[in-house]
Amino acid sequence: MVASQNGWPRVAASGGLQTLPWITGRVLPGDVWTIMDHLCRRFDAEVETIRKDWSWGWDDRGVIGGTELSNHASATAIDVNAPDHPISARGTFTPAQVKAIETILEDFNGVIKWGGHYVKRADEMHFEIDVLPTDPKVAALAAQIRSITAPAVVVPMPVPSLSDEQVTRILAAIKAVPFATANVPIKYTAGDVSWIQEDANNAAALRVVQRQNRELTQQLAALHSAIPAMCKQAVLDALAVSTIITTTTIGGKP
């Protein structure tokens, strides 16, 4: 078996290779494709925009100026924005871009090597698989990428739990609003009409409850408009608490 520089087998024809949307060219399907695709996605987002017509992959050739088979020949290397980062040139990326590249490489766990790190001749357009085909790091990295790029599962937002400090602030805000009904015991729920109508006194009590519910609703609305100065989370918490207060205050038969 003829292997390229990094130990991956030579691919003599492009038929079994897979196009990569970021480049004009192909790479090895499967784990290598997943890794190269994610590398391009992050390079495009964090280093510079990729020009597809300036970027390529598989090429069955030897190393330029050498005798070994290029990793492009095993479809495990890509060149990105080649005209801006010509072979042999150093410093074609800003220090901030180099830092961004190195951050990406760290996240790729040593599986990818950047041509800008070549000691002899620089090749800053170039990225390649830097471990053997048998190295389990390849499959592990690809699996990790697939897991983080899978569609997010939407779960309902739980009601946030309150810290003691949040409770203190919310209670202070609530106390600041005058509650006319605060000392009036409210005994009936709004759904108890038939039961209450058995007794004229209870009917009167129902009217009281209805009026108090209206007032309470207005006061809660006033409370909500009075607290925008509180942080967003605290407002959400206050709404949750006011719901509990409403339920507690007007709920339950005597």
Interacting residue ranges for Zn ion, rule: CB under 5 A:
79, 126
- C-alpha 84/C-alpha 82 separation (Å) is 5
Beta strand ranges found along the chain (DSSP E): 18-19, 26-27, 77-79, 112-114, 126-129
- C-alpha 223/C-alpha 175 separation (Å) is 10
Instruction: Find the angle CA(59)-CA(61)-CA(63) to the nearest 5 degrees.
Output: 115
The residue whose two tokens read 């292997």 is 3
Closer by beta carbon to Zn ion, 38 or else 113 = 113
Query: Closest distance between Zn ion and the C-beta of residue 29, in Å?
Result: 19
Query: Closest distance between Zn ion and the C-beta of residue 154, in Å?
Result: 41
Closer by beta carbon to Zn ion, 26 or else 126 = 126
Closer by beta carbon to Zn ion, 76 or else 219 = 76
Query: Closest distance between Zn ion and the C-beta of residue 163, in Å?
Result: 54
Closer by beta carbon to Zn ion, 85 or else 126 = 126
Query: Closest distance between Zn ion and the C-beta of residue 72, in Å?
Result: 6
- C-alpha 17/C-alpha 29 separation (Å) is 6
Q: Which residue of the chain is nearest Zn ion when measured via CB? A: 126
Closer by beta carbon to Zn ion, 93 or else 188 = 93
- C-alpha 185/C-alpha 167 separation (Å) is 24
Query: Closest distance between Zn ion and the C-beta of residue 87, in Å?
Result: 8
